[in-house]
Amino acid sequence: MTKQIRLNTHSLFLLTTLFLLSTPFLSHTTALAQLQQGGSITSPTTWAIGDSPVTVTDSLTIAEGATLTIEPGVEVRFSSGTALIVAGVLIADGSESDPVLFTSTSASPEPGDWAGVTFENLSDAGSVFRHVTVEYGGFGATNSGVYYRTGAFGVPVSHSTIRHIAGNGIDTRASNPVLDELTITDNTGYGVFSDLFSNYELRNSTITDNSAGGVRVPINTGPVITGNLIQNNDFGIFVSDQAFPTITDNEVLDNTIGMHFVELGTTRPVVRNNSISGNSEVGVRNITTAGRTLDATRNFWGDDSGPFNMASNPSGLGDRVSDFVSYDPWNILADDLGVTEITSNITTDQTWSDGVYWIRSNIDVTAGNTLTIEPGVIVKLGNNVRLQVFGLLNAQGTAENRIVFHFREGRQLWRQHQQRSRERPVAR
């Protein structure tokens, strides 16, 4: 039997009213619905802020020839064990205020919830990875937050944070990326791990609280490590056999071992103008069976008395150095030097002859004028400040008294100290 329902005028009015009231709500809910992705991206795709959060339910591959663009502020949540594999082009270009976020779907996330980002393209396809946060990755064989497969093009990574990874923050394999202005912290492996002839460049970054170590340099390679804070790791910098990195202007602080070198090769590392301090076991250790000495002169060791070595400097109150490490002359704090602030263009011939000259804003040496900088002068420039020369710059230091250009705010300044007596102190 079919039942008939009769609606009077009042009932129809109520139903019509309820439908009209519910329509905006339904439309709004649809607009806020998250996007779900998995499998392969084979055509140009954009994830906009209106799609956020995007959930990756199965490992996602950007196929060769395809491009995925992720707009600033988009949050991408990865299900357990999934990965983002870049065989094509990834444009993840956030901003300082609205970074792109790669994270876990878990309500209580932990390191290793998902795999991480893998770059596979062997040539420069135009990927951008800037202002991105990667967290809670490291699941599976890649064991890292950002992984470069063997021989992959070194996609630059800048102004980004990589944290809470079950393994290494960044892992390069025969790749040479520029890693700039990064924060890599609280990972169970190394902050930056490299293997198989990776000549990367790591600069202006903060590498802290990584369980295995801050930075690893593979055998027979010469990466550049400059301007970084490397703090509270097990090894600060671990340098493998025959490697010849350039390690300059870093703060290597409060690690168990500041720098560890194994079997120097014919081409030696460059270790200059670093602050090596507070490392609990040793500041610099050189393990050698061939008797090759590491040149670690012109570094600051945490105290003006220099590093401690029982045989050669038992009165040193700075970090300990092992045998086969040359440390004299060393740098001492330059806090007692006079500071001259430079705030306007150089419009007449000038000579900077002593102390620290602090350039706080962009200045020019104007056409027809000469700026002479004498040996021993320290020129300190604030962040993003330039000295532009339209006239003539005459800056000639000496091997014993260099001119130092210092390009970072808040860092300690040093000047050189050399032991007056070249005789070894008597061990006590």
Residue 335 has a pLDDT of 59
Residue 256 pLDDT exceeds 70: yes
pLDDT band at residue 408 using 50, 70 and 90 as cut-offs: low
CA distances from 335 to 7, 338, 403, 413 (A): 89, 8, 16, 7
Residue 113 has a pLDDT of 97
The secondary structure of residue 52, as a DSSP letter, is P
Residue 343 has a pLDDT of 86
CB 306 within 8 A of CB 316: yes
* H-helix or E-strand spanning residue 418: none
Q: What integer best gives the mean pLDDT of the chain?
A: 86
Please compute Rg for the chain using Cα positions: 28
Pairing of strands 414-417, 330-333: antiparallel
pLDDT tens digit sequence for 130-169: 999 999 999 999 999 999 999 999 999 999 999 999 999 9
CB 76 within 8 A of CB 135: no
Residue 359 has a pLDDT of 87
Residue 337 pLDDT exceeds 90: no
pLDDT band at residue 205 using 50, 70 and 90 as cut-offs: very high
Angle at the Cα of 162 from the Cα atoms of 381 and 220, rounded to 5 degrees: 75
In the chain, pLDDT over 90 holds for what percent of residues? 70
pLDDT band at residue 284 using 50, 70 and 90 as cut-offs: very high
Residue 17 pLDDT exceeds 70: no
Which position has the token pair 């890649």?
A: 142
Q: What beta strand segments (E) does 209-334 contain?
A: 213-217, 224-226, 229-231, 235-239, 246-248, 251-253, 257-262, 270-272, 275-277, 282-287, 294-295, 325-326, 330-333
Residue 336 has a pLDDT of 57
Which residues 6+ apart lie within 8 Å of 320 measured at CB? Answer: 281, 282, 283, 307, 308, 309
pLDDT tens digit sequence for 76-119: 999 999 999 999 999 999 999 999 999 999 999 999 999 999 99
Instruction: Locate the domains of the chain by residue range.
Output: 35-333, 339-417
How far apart are alpha carbons 238 and 54 in whole angstroms? 38
Residue 75 pLDDT exceeds 50: yes
Phi, then psi, of 246 in degrees rounded to 5: -105, 115
pLDDT band at residue 9 using 50, 70 and 90 as cut-offs: very low
Angle at the Cα of 17 from the Cα atoms of 12 and 21, rounded to 5 degrees: 150
Residue 428 pLDDT exceeds 80: no
What is the average pLDDT across 170-175?
93
pLDDT band at residue 413 using 50, 70 and 90 as cut-offs: very low
By mean pLDDT, which of 11-25, 142-156, 337-351 is the weakest?
11-25
Give the number of other CB atoms < 10 A from CB of residue 424: 12
Residue 21 has a pLDDT of 39
> Which of left, alpha, beta for 204 (phi over 0: left; psi -120 to 50: alpha)?
left
Which position has the token pair 């000496």?
A: 398
Residue 427 pLDDT exceeds 60: no
CA distances from 380 to 76, 135, 402 (A): 41, 35, 14
How far apart are alpha carbons 3 and 154 in whole angstroms? 72
CA distances from 304 to 27, 285, 400 (A): 69, 20, 18
Is the pLDDT higher at 193 or at 422? Answer: 193
pLDDT tens digit sequence for 19-69: 333 433 332 333 343 788 889 999 999 999 999 999 999 999 999 999 999
Residue 407 has a pLDDT of 62
What is the average pLDDT across 216-232?
94
Q: What beta strand segments (E) does 66-182 contain?
A: 67-70, 75-78, 83-86, 89-93, 100-104, 116-119, 128-130, 132-135, 144-148, 157-158, 161-163, 168-173, 178-180
How far apart are alpha carbons 130 and 142 in whole angstroms? 21
What is the average pLDDT across 115-132?
96
Residue 214 has a pLDDT of 98
pLDDT band at residue 391 using 50, 70 and 90 as cut-offs: very high
